[in-house]
Structure 1
């Protein structure tokens, strides 16, 4: 039997040594085989395990798109200094976002659960806030910085919570937009508000996935695997995903 590795909700074949972008509009599922267009696949080098690569194709690409295509952060460090807030920084998208943002000319404030603070610091965050404290719930920077960019990976948060902490032209990029967030986006656009909340809908691109794979190969990015589960009992993986204590990614494999 050929061996496969699957991200929770998205399958990746190991024997083919290929990875491909996958995103919400295409759906997902738990299966041993899928069909992908050749021009959407990228090679997985032997230095990158199948499990490491599996996490990149949705969460990694979302973090990359939010930071680069949406926020305009240059990951070679050549951009102007930028203060960034990353919420839910220990989660799937969040843990990639912190690592990628660190490659740019950024100061990173991150929020997460108290038990994950040390972990998020190891990813490169400059300051980490306990999301359960009053300061954390208010999204306040310990150093008093105003945020130019917010990569919002955590639970839905009201505009009134974000607004006092934003610089004059700040943009919030919401990777899990709700109807309320989309309504806020439309309202800010209609009123020409310089501070905006912008939904991010993933558009998977093979060249971006290839970029991420190369970063992993070079040791500049890592997929942190919280846990692995057998494909024979996927309900255990879903239960783990639902407990809101996950660090990084969950992998389902044979």
Structure 2
């Protein structure tokens, strides 16, 4: 497709929110070694996308102009050198290179190391919801010893922000792993989180929810922490002797706390966690969706032209599940 152009949304400076997203005409990218070029059918927004726009990784990311978004579902158009596992016409789901993004466009290049084939039973909207959110939940649960083949020992887990993009997958995956799940969310989503399989649900706005204490009195062997603003001291009193908190939104304070726990040889640990999601992980997750064992909760689906509205909705921070943009139906 050399020389052809496509439509995309991009921004060219830090800040500005949804208003800074501009529709532009840019060249269709060419796949390099180990990459594919996909016609994009659907993409999803993750909080990290607009946090990067706001400068959370300044001055390293992004490079301007930036075409954001990394969670992509689409169809292979062409392949780069050395690619044998994919061919034109294959339906795929992919996690694009985190440093470059590129998903909010009609075409995107994706690394095969972070791409999986998508069966017809899994829609583009469902697939696009998976890479970062479901991938992070899956890798976090793996990190605390969860087994998904029936060989693991059950233990007690707490999942915060359980109605959000990552949390909704974490609840379902934890139950597939045989765990006892306590979850937190807002009052309006309690029934939803229960329907995902949570054994106990705490309204985070209540005194009980603020303390994170399990209604059954259970201590947590693991916490999949999907939000911010909860002090380590609140977690610590609710952890079992060797309990771990996997922090999926680590900031400076969590990194410092983690280091202090290691220095003092504490058995209770806080683990700042940046998951690496590969093609095998995506294959596993897509397979679960195909088999009906994992059901993405979709907050809303927006047309390509309404991408700025979807961006603004994500920035509000109250989405239940995933926000999806359909690039092509």
TM score, norm. by length of structure 2: 0.73
Q: If you compute each CA radius of gyration, which structure gives the higher value, 1 or 2?
A: 2
1:11–1:30 Cα contact (<8 Å) kept: no
Output one character per residue of 1:177-210: Cα deviation in whole Å (capped at 9) or x when no partner.
1111111111111111100000110212110110
1:165 aligns with 2:272: no
Q: Which residue of 2 aligns with 1:239?
A: 312
What secondary structure, in the 3-state scheme, does the structure 1 residue paired with 2:107 have?
coil
**CA deviation map 1:35-71 (0-9, x unaligned):** 1233432110000001100111111110000001x11
Deviates more, 1:19-28 or 1:158-167: 19-28
- Secondary structure (helix, strand or coil) at the match of 1:62 reads helix
- SS of 1:144's partner is coil
Question: Deviations along 1:127-146, whole A, 9 cap, x unmatched?
Answer: 10101001101111111110
Deviation at 1:3, TM superposition (A): 6.2
**Cα distance, 1:78 vs structure 2:** 2.2
Residue 11 of structure 1: CA displacement? 5.0
Query: Quick check: 86-95 or 14-23, which moved more?
Result: 14-23
Paired with 1:22 and 1:126, the residues of 2 have a C-alpha distance of 35
- Comparing 230-239 and 174-183, the one that deviates more: 230-239
Between Structure 1 and Structure 2, how many residues are aligned? 253
CA distance in 1, matches of 2:235, 2:326: 39
Residue equivalent to 1:138: 211
Is residue 2:161 matched to residue 1:101?
A: no
Question: 1 or 2, which has the higher helix percentage?
Answer: 1
Residue 215 of structure 1 is matched in structure 2 by 288
Unaligned runs of 5+ in 1: none
2:150: which partner in 1? 77
Q: Is the 8 A contact 1:11 1:32 kept in 2?
A: no
* 1:128/1:245 CA distance change after superposition, 3 Å: same
**What's the counterpart of residue 74 of structure 2?**
14
More deviation in 70-79 or 7-16?
7-16
Q: Is contact 1:78–1:105 with CA below 8 Å preserved after alignment?
A: no
Equivalent of residue 57 in structure 1, options 131, 156, 176: 131
> Residue 194 of structure 2 aligns with which residue?
121
| C-alpha deviation, 1:157, in angstroms | 1.3
Q: Retained in 2: the 8 A contact 1:7–1:252?
A: yes
Q: In structure 1, how many angstroms separate the alpha carbons of the residues matched to 2:297 and 2:317?
A: 16
Instruction: Report if the CA contact (8 A) 1:11-1:34 is conserved.
Output: no
1:25 Cα deviation after fit: 5.1
Structure 2: runs of 5+ lacking an equivalent: 1-5, 7-38, 46-68, 77-90
2:223 corresponds in structure 1 to: 150
Shifted more, 8-17 versus 208-217: the winner is 8-17
- Comparing 143-152 with 71-80, greater Cα deviation is found at 71-80
Match of 1:43 in 2: 117
How much does 1:26 deviate?
Answer: 5.4
Instruction: Indicate conservation of the 8 Å contact 1:3/1:14, yes or no.
Output: yes
CA displacement, residues 187-239 of structure 1 (integer Å, 9 cap, x when unaligned): 11111110000011021211011000000000000111110112223221122
In 1, Cα distance between equivalents of 2:164 and 2:119: 25
Mapped contact 2:261–2:270 kept (Cα < 8 A)? yes
Q: Report deviation, 1:13.
A: 4.4
